[in-house]
Copies of this chain bind each other. A is one copy, B any other.
Amino acid sequence: MAYRVAVVGATGAVGLEFLRVLERRRFPVASLKLLASARSAGRRLEFAGEEHTVEALGADSFEGAELALFSAGAAVSREFAPVAARAGALVVDNSSAFRMDPLVPLVIPEVNPASARRHQGLIANPNCTTIVSLLAVAPIHRAAGVERFTAASYQAASGAGARAMRELESQVRAWAEGRRLEVEVFPHQIAFNLFPHVDQFAENGYTREELKMLYETRKILNDNEIRVSATCVRVPVLRAHSIALHLETREKVTAARAREILARAPGVLVEDDPAANRYPMPLAAAGSDEVRVGRVREDLSHERGLALFVVGDQLLKGAALNAVQVAELALGLAPAPVCG
């Protein structure tokens, strides 16, 4: 059994990772259609040793498709994801378009695999910072009940796409060569800088990225009581997101117990040996599937508090890998990950 697969946004940072992840996981691809904007049509991309030509996305792009992986922004998903679903494809959408739709499951396979089964042709892939955070928060929530957490993120340029990654690189190059730094993609210079601004601002002063952390967490954990507050910050790092988390649990969890829980959690790598200078770092996490968790501490400021530092590749577990895992789960190609 193999699937006719369409990739929407194939030339983007996440789109290119879709191809690598499908290859690497030997996803059973019967045929592959690469879709992007008219601007990118004609580009040739390699998949499994063969060249494929990128086609312009259109209303008839999904004929015969059985799986459609979308990562081309919310507007494109809003227009074309229903088209692909009506054509009979299972759609896994990496944009924010359908995440909060009550009829659309929002799935992290390690956290809420059962939700994937309730899809009606469309499954949403959560926000990258939320996925990376919840890989660590969910197992502790299951074991001891997380009542509240605060998050401060250190988000890589990749979260804003391939052009944003190139902007960071070209600013650094310009700096090294004594040239003027050009700012086009980001609102401000990102080289040697950072800014507490990811996605647009809402009325209450939070950014939409920060609000996703709250609302998506509640939906994924199926818990409308959990309280979340985040500060999301863009940093001059290329492709892995880091998050400093402060959790408050219903039952006291010692640091040792938290490490035990996390060591058995699927998709998580505990990296917590400060004496050897070992802790999660974005440079080490880039290109790896696991979400790394370290700096596990009992929170000195709260009786039932835990502090953690988590890092995950934004393009992999934060986007392409999670989406492909969701597809594998929904198509019955992989069992639900189980806590060891």
Contact = CB atoms under 8 A, between A and B. Distances in A.
Interface in A292-340: 294-302, 305, 307, 309
B197 A277 contact: yes
Interface in A251-269: 255
A297 to B, nearest CB: 4
A49 interface: no
A131 interface: no
B195 A279 contact: yes
B204 A236 contact: no
A52 interface: no
A202 to B, nearest CB: 9
A282 B193 CA distance: 6
Counting chain B CB atoms within 10 Å of each CB, the highest count among A283, A296, A305 belongs to A283
Nearest to A176: B176
A229 B246 contact: yes
Interface of A: 148-150, 152, 154, 172-173, 175-177, 187-189, 191-197, 201, 204-207, 214, 227-229, 231, 233, 235-238, 242, 244, 246, 255, 274-275, 277, 279-283, 294-302, 305, 307, 309
